[in-house]
Amino acid sequence: MNKKVLVIGSGFAGLSAATALADKGYQVQILEKNDQPGGRARAFSADGFTFDMGPSWYWMPDVFERYFQSYGKSVADYYSLERLDPSYRVYFGAQDYLDIPAGLERCVELFESIEAGSGLKLRKFMEESAYKYEVGIKDLVYRPGRSLLEFADWRIAKGLFQLDLLKSIRSYVHQHFQNPRLRQLMEFPILFLGGTPKNTPALYSLMNYADMELGTWFPKGGMVEIVEAMVALAKEKGVEIVTSSPVRNLKVATGGHISGAECDNATYTADIVVAGADYHHVEQQLLPAAYRQYSPQYWEKRDMAPSSLLYYLGVSKKVEGLLHHTLCFDESFDEHAAQLYDHPQWPKKPLFYVSATSKTDPNAAPEGKENLFLLVPTAPGLVDTDSVKKDYLHLLMARIKKLTGENLEHSIEYQRSFATSDFVSDYNSFKGNAYGLANTLRQTAILKPSLKSKKVNNLYYTGQLTVPGPGVPPSLISGQVVADEIEKDYAKALAV
C-alpha cells in the first residue's frame, strides 16, 4: 500500500509538499488549524472590500510558472497576471517621491537622472545580479541543506566571490551608488528577507534583479488566487485537506517514530509527517521533549524576521497619491532597523508600506472607494494592546496626510488590525514573526533549522523557517525540496 503522509499546515509550503508527494504516489492528508487554507496568505471580505491578509508582492513569476509546469500545467490555467507599471512608488518626504518604472531600461534612465554615471553602474549591478539569480533561484534554493557536500561544486567555490556570499548587501550597494535615495531603493528588497542590509549577504542582490528586471505583477483577484490555484491542483492530485483541525500532539513511539497526530476530535495515522506549520511550534510544542532537536536557547538565539502591525482599511473615497504599492521611506531606515533588531521596541518613526489593490482590481472595493492594507514592520515578541494599535493608526493617517495631502481619518468605513498576538494565535508563530527566519549569513543553507529531524526518523519540515527561507516563491520551493528528500529517503529504504 502507498505510504501515508500527514502534512501539518496548508500554507504555500504545506500545499506544495502535499501536491508533490501526492504526485509521486503517496497518500496525502493536510491537517490545517484554520477554517480556510493558505496560511499567512489567507484573504477575507467585509462590507464590500476584499483584503489579502499577508503577501501582496508577486515577484519571481518564473518560480510560479515552474511550479505549475512541473505538473504539466501553467499559471495561465489558473489565474491571469498583470505587470504593474509603475512597479511601485517610494515617498521620501511630503509630495516627494519616485515612481519605479517597469523594466530595466527605464530604471537606468531614472537612476541617471538622479546621479550621473549611476545608469551604467545599475546595468553592471544587474548583470551580476542576473548571475546570482540564475545560480541562487534556479539552483541553490533547491538544495536541501542537509550536508556541506551539496555545495562542493565549482560554481559555489567560484561563487564565494562571484556570488558575494561574504560581503554585505549594504557595502555592495554603497560601492555602486552614492545618492542616498538610490541606496535606499536598492536596499529595499532586502526587507523581504527579514534581515538588515548590514547582515544580509550581497548574494541577495538577486532580489534587485527580481524587482527591476523580472518585475512586479498582480494576479487578478489578488494573491489569494495563488492559494486557490494550488488548492485546486493539490485536490486534483488526490490530496485531502482537513480544515479547522489544529494538531495538538504528535505521538512518538520509543526509538523516534511518529505514528500519528492528535487533533481535538480525531487521531490521524501516518507513515511520514511533514511539518508545514511554524518549525518552532511543531518541534517545541507538538513533540515530546526527548525528541526535540533544538533547545529553547537555540531558538532564542535565532534572528527572526520581523513581526508586523497590519491594518485593513475600507476607505470611502479614492485616494490620490497612493499607487497599488507605496513605500513610505520618509524616516530613517537604520533607526527603524535598530528598533527591530538591536533594541526591540515599538518604532518611534516607522517606515511603512501601503497596498491598494483597488487601484488595479475594481472588484477589491466598492466603486469610488479604496481597500488599503498598511504594514509596519515591528520587532517580534512585542506586546500589542488596543491603545498601541489605535495610536499607530493615528500616526499612519498623519503620515499619509503629510506625504500625499490626503486626509483619511474620517473616511475609514471599515477597519481591522492584525499584530504580533494575532500571528501567535492564528498561526502558532514563534514570537509572532510574520515571515519566518531572517536570511542572514549565519542562517543560510545548512545553518538553518534542518529540513529533516535527526531525532524522529519520519519527521520532515518545510516552510519559511527552514530552507530556502521566507517569501512565497521560497515557500513553494521548500515544499518541493522536502518532497524530493522524502522520495530519496524512502526509495533508498525500500531498496535496502
Ligand X SMILES: Cc1cc2nc3c(=O)[nH]c(=O)nc-3n(C[C@H](O)[C@H](O)[C@H](O)COP(=O)(O)OP(=O)(O)OC[C@H]3O[C@@H](n4cnc5c(N)ncnc54)[C@H](O)[C@@H]3O)c2cc1C
- Kindly state whether residue 215 participates in binding ligand X, applying the rule CB under 6 A: no
Query: CA–CA distance from 127 to each of 90, 104, 111, 137, 438 (Å)?
Result: 24, 11, 16, 15, 26
Q: Work out which of 136, 197, 222, 276 binds ligand X, going by CB under 6 A.
A: 276
Residues of span 52-111 touching ligand X by CB under 6 A:
54-57
Spatial contact of 439 and 471, defined as CB atoms under 8 Å apart: no
Using CB under 6 A, pick the residue from 17, 18, 20, 41 that binds ligand X: 41
For the segment 2-31, give every residue that binds ligand X (CB under 6 A): 8-14, 31
- The least CB distance from residue 268 to ligand X, in Å, is 11
Looking at the Cβ atoms of 252 and 310, the one nearer to ligand X is 310
Residue matched to cell numbers 500545499 = 15
CB of 317 to ligand X, least distance (A): 25
Size of the site for ligand X (CB under 6 A): 37
Question: Which single residue is written with the C-alpha cell 506586546?
Answer: 383
Angle, to 10 degrees, between the axis of helix 12-23 and the axis of helix 224-236?
Answer: 20
Site for ligand X in 332-361 (CB under 6 A): none
Comparing CB distances to ligand X, the nearer of 11 and 197 is 11
Q: Write the CA distances from 26 to 5, 17, 18, 492, integer angstroms.
A: 7, 11, 9, 15
Of these, 247, 322, 382, 467, which contacts ligand X (CB under 6 A)? 247
Of 67 and 427, the one with the shorter C-beta distance to ligand X is 427
Tell which one of 3, 24, 33, 448 touches ligand X (CB under 6 A): 33
Q: Which residue has the cell 511601485?
A: 88
Assess 374 for contact with ligand X (CB under 6 A): no
Q: Please say whether the beta carbons of 182 and 111 come within 8 A.
A: yes
Rounded to whole angstroms, the Cα distance separating 310 from 315 reads 15
Closest to ligand X by CB, 122 vs 210, is: 210
The reply to whether 32 sits near ligand X by the rule CB under 6 A is: yes
By C-alpha distance, which of 478, 476, 473 is closest to 210?
Answer: 473
Give which of 211, 217, 193, 213 is closest to 65, Cα–Cα.
217
Handedness of CA 195, 200, 203, 205 (dihedral sign): positive
Q: Residue 204 has what DSSP assignment?
A: G
Does residue number 325 form part of the binding site for ligand X (CB under 6 A)? no
End-to-end Cα, the chain, rounded Å: 18
| Residue 471 binds ligand X, judged by CB under 6 A | yes
C-alpha dist (Å) from residue 146 to 158, 475, 485: 21, 17, 10
**Quick one: 49 or 192, whose CB is closer to ligand X?**
192
In angstroms, the Cα distances linking 222 to 39, 116, 255 are 15, 39, 46
Helix axes 472-495, 61-69, angle to 10 degrees: 30
Closest distance to ligand X from the beta carbon of 96 (Å): 25
Q: Are strands 272-275 and 370-378 parallel, antiparallel or unpaired?
A: unpaired
**Looking at beta carbons only, is 50 or 475 nearer to ligand X?**
475
What part of residues 381-440 is at the interface with ligand X (CB under 6 A)? 427-428, 434-436
Q: Would you state the cell numbers that stand for residue 160, as one nine-digit string?
A: 564565494
Q: Minimum distance from CB of 60 to ligand X (Å)?
A: 8
**Residue 208 in contact with ligand X, rule: CB under 6 A:** no
In whole angstroms, how close is the CB of 477 to ligand X at the nearest point? 11
> Cβ closer to ligand X: 182 or 472?
472
Which residue number, 114 or 242, has a Cβ lying nearer to ligand X? 242
Closest CB 117 distance from ligand X, rounded Å: 32
CB-nearer residue toward ligand X: 122 or 191? 191
By C-beta, is 33 or 237 nearer to ligand X? 33
CA distance 40 to 298: 25
What residue type is 72 in one-letter code?
Answer: G
CB of 426 to ligand X, least distance (A): 6
Other Cβ atoms less than 10 A from the Cβ of 421: the count is: 15
Cβ proximity of 128 and 213 under 8 Å: no
Residue from 50, 129, 216, 308 binding ligand X (CB under 6 A): 308
Q: Identify the residue among 475, 480, 483, 486 touching ligand X (CB under 6 A).
A: 475
Interaction site with ligand X (CB under 6 A):
8-14, 31-34, 39-41, 54-57, 246-247, 276-277, 281, 308, 310, 375, 427-428, 434-436, 463-464, 470-472, 475
